[in-house]
Amino acid sequence: MATAIPVGNLENEVTCPICLEFFKDPVMIMGCGHNFCQACITQYLEGAETDGTCPQCRQTFPQMIVGPNKKLAHFVEIVKSLSVQSAGEARGKLMCNEHGEALKLFCETDQKLICLICRESRLHRAHNVAPIQEATKQYKEQIWIQLEILKEERRKLQEQKESENQKYKDYQEKAEIEMQEILAEYKKLYQYFQEKERLLRVQLRDLEEKTDKNHKETITQLSEEISCLNSLIEELEEKCQQQTGDFLQGIKSMLSRCERKQLRMPGEIFSKMKKKLGKLTAQKMALRETLGRFQDDLPSSQKKARWQQHGSYNVVKVTLDPDTAHPYLLLSEDRRSMTRARNRQDVPDNPERFDPVHYVLGSEGFTLGRHTWEVNVAQVHSWALGVARESVRRKGEIIPSPDRGIWAVRSCMGRLRALTSPTYTPVVLNRTLSKVRVCLDCAGGWVSFFDADAEAALFTFPPASFNGERIRPLFSVWMTGAALSLCH
């Protein structure tokens, strides 16, 4: 049996650390096991500068969880009764206010001290009562049992707390190791691309030097041959002016001098150089494809940030220029959409109009700033859009590429390609396009395309030099019935 302890020690166990009174509606902080009055902890948390801090142990929790402690509430009531009894014993015998008799019994039902007369009264006659000493002994045993239970619960909570702290520490260590390994791998990748760039620069510089050397040798050879030919031509012209007798003298020797080996043409000299340049171009395309795969792995939020990284763009309400529209392109009344008509329209054959290529330009043109617009391409199987120089060719065959003043992407039966030079670049799509955003940065020379719904990058052309020339939106459809419309 447990040894009795002073009531004062029990009172300390049921005293709120905030108000220093017996607990009222006690609640427990699940993270550390400390108890407080519900009103006290609520008022403390409302006035605290930092949320989630225990006012007793000062431990901080990301999300503090408190719950009612019913066992402790019952324990408080018991200690209150014992406190009253202890105070009475300190003064002497406790007396019944009603009968003036000593309080020797404890009513279990009403949880109060009573005298012998109270015991026989109608109010307590049917109640369970016990002598004070016996009740005190019994409840102290119950209290000690509850104390052991509460201490065991606190011990378990402390162990759980230590376990959670250790798990978090282990996670942080693993995360740090993983971060260092990731940084090391990307450092290797960065070094690889640096070395690849260096090698390509060396190869290109070597190719330039060899090309320059061969060019100079060819020019020197051609100059020498031209000089020899000039001398021979002068001799032949003089020979033709001679009289018959003089003319025939040495004629065979002169004719033999005219029999020369055929000069090796520059095209033959540069053929090897073109092959080497083609290999470098293939390496460039392979690097571009690798970069595209890395870009596809970016989260959508980062892809969205990529198109905004050069600053904000001015959203433009683009309209279509009827003077540039191919005769088969039928524009809407508001000039915000177009359809590939079945029949050729009777329109003036003005110099600005595209023919035979099915193009139309936007009425707006830009020389400064950043501008963006969106085009609805849903349900359209074949289309092209982008930007073009004001001076772009309008008549005859047009091969769209930046070299020809056109920066555009083209979709044909669901396959998207960027119209780069010398070969077109495939663009990998993860979903069916519905709206395409075109972004133009005049100062930076950037032309970029995005999936407007997914906020995902599609393709960005290498920076160009527009040289202050007016740049205009470009659109195209070529299948009968196909239609494009501008958004917003």
User: Domain for residue 31, yes or no?
Assistant: yes
CATH number for the domain including 24? 3.30.40.10
Q: Please state, in angstroms and rounded to a whole number, the distance separating the CA atoms of residues 391 and 320.
A: 17
Half-sphere exposure of 83 (CA within 13 A, CB side): 16
- 139-192 pLDDT, tens digit each: 899 899 999 999 999 999 999 999 999 999 999 999 899 889 888 888 888 888
**Does residue 463 share a domain with residue 331?**
yes
- 1-38 pLDDT, tens digit each: 445 556 667 788 889 998 889 899 999 988 888 999 99
User: Domain for residue 458, yes or no?
Assistant: yes
Mean pLDDT value across residues 46-54: 75
Note the pLDDT of residue 1: 41
Q: Is 360 helix (H, G, I), strand (E, B) or coil?
A: strand
User: Domain for residue 443, yes or no?
Assistant: yes
Asked whether the predicted pLDDT for residue 476 surpasses 90, the reply is yes
Q: Is 42 helix (H, G, I), strand (E, B) or coil?
A: helix
User: Domain for residue 421, yes or no?
Assistant: yes
**Does residue 475 share a domain with residue 330?**
yes
Q: Identify the residue with better confidence: 402 or 271.
A: 402
**Does residue 241 share a domain with residue 125?**
no
Asked whether the predicted pLDDT for residue 296 surpasses 60, the reply is no
Burial class (CB in 10 A: 0-12, 13-18, 19+), 187: exposed
Name the DSSP letter for residue 291.
H
For 91, 363, 403, 410, 425, the CA distances from 420, given in Å and listed in that order, are 103, 25, 9, 11, 6
User: Which amino acid is located at 180 in the chain?
Assistant: Q
Q: Please state, in angstroms and rounded to a whole number, the distance separating the CA atoms of residues 416 and 449.
A: 11
Q: What percent of the chain is predicted at pLDDT more than 90?
A: 40
Kindly compute the dihedral angle of the four CA atoms of residues 345, 350, 353, 358, in this order, to the nearest 10 degrees. 40
Q: What share of the chain is helix, strand, coil (3-state, %, to 5)?
A: 45, 20, 35
The residue with tokens 């070094």 is: 191
Q: Would you mind telling me the total number of residues written for the chain in this entry?
A: 488
Q: Is the peptide bond before 422 cis (omega within 30 degrees of 0)?
A: yes
β-pair partners for 407: 387
User: Domain for residue 171, yes or no?
Assistant: no
Structural domain range at position 283: 221-297
User: Which amino acid is located at 155 in the chain?
Assistant: R
**Does residue 320 share a domain with residue 293?**
no
- 445-473 pLDDT, tens digit each: 999 999 999 888 999 999 998 989 999 99
Q: Is the peptide bond before 356 cis (omega within 30 degrees of 0)?
A: yes
Per-residue confidence at 285, pLDDT binned at 50, 70, 90?
low
Q: Please state, in angstroms and rounded to a whole number, the distance separating the CA atoms of residues 11 and 378.
A: 77
**Does residue 369 share a domain with residue 245?**
no
Q: Please state, in angstroms and rounded to a whole number, the distance separating the CA atoms of residues 15 and 56.
A: 12
Q: What percent of the chain is predicted at pLDDT more than 70?
A: 84
Beta carbons of 410 and 358 less than 8 angstroms apart: no
Q: Please state, in angstroms and rounded to a whole number, the distance separating the CA atoms of residues 468 and 65.
A: 64
Mean pLDDT value across residues 365-372: 94
Q: Identify the residue with better confidence: 332 or 13.
A: 332
Note the pLDDT of residue 261: 46
**Does residue 433 share a domain with residue 400?**
yes
Q: Using a cut of 0.85, tell me whether the model's pTM lies above it.
A: no
Which pair of tokens denotes residue 215?
């060019």
- 181-224 pLDDT, tens digit each: 888 888 888 888 888 888 888 888 888 888 888 888 888 888 88
Name the DSSP letter for residue 463.
P
User: Domain for residue 308, yes or no?
Assistant: no
Please, what sign has the CA dihedral across residues 270, 272, 274, 276? negative
The residue with tokens 């400064």 is: 368
Name the DSSP letter for residue 229.
H
CATH number for the domain including 115? 3.30.160.60
**Does residue 422 share a domain with residue 381?**
yes
Domain count, the chain: 4
The residue with tokens 């079945």 is: 342
**Does residue 334 share a domain with residue 417?**
yes
Q: Please state, in angstroms and rounded to a whole number, the distance separating the CA atoms of residues 188 and 182.
A: 10
Highest mean pLDDT among 46-50, 293-297, 342-346, 406-410: 406-410
Provide φ and ψ at 402, rounded to 5°.
-60, -30
The strand ranges marked E within 354-486 are 359-361, 370-376, 382-389, 406-412, 415-418, 425-427, 435-441, 446-451, 456-460, 471-476, 483-486
**Does residue 116 share a domain with residue 16?**
no
- 231-261 pLDDT, tens digit each: 888 888 887 887 777 777 777 777 777 775 4
**Does residue 115 share a domain with residue 75?**
no
Largest CA distance in the chain: 176
**Does residue 347 share a domain with residue 446?**
yes
From first CA to last CA, the distance across the chain in angstroms is 85
Note the pLDDT of residue 349: 93
- 58-117 pLDDT, tens digit each: 888 878 888 999 888 998 888 887 765 665 555 556 788 888 788 889 998 888 899 988
Alpha helices, H only, 241-359: 244-248, 251-258, 266-296, 300-308
Per-residue confidence at 268, pLDDT binned at 50, 70, 90?
low
User: Domain for residue 307, yes or no?
Assistant: no
What strands lie across the sheet with 35-37, from one edge to the other? 35-37, 26-29, 66-68
Q: Please state, in angstroms and rounded to a whole number, the distance separating the CA atoms of residues 223 and 225.
A: 5
Q: Is 96 helix (H, G, I), strand (E, B) or coil?
A: coil
Write down the mean pLDDT value for the chain: 84
For 5, 36, 72, 137, the CA distances from 14, given in Å and listed in that order, are 14, 9, 8, 19
**Does residue 366 share a domain with residue 260?**
no
User: Domain for residue 12, yes or no?
Assistant: yes
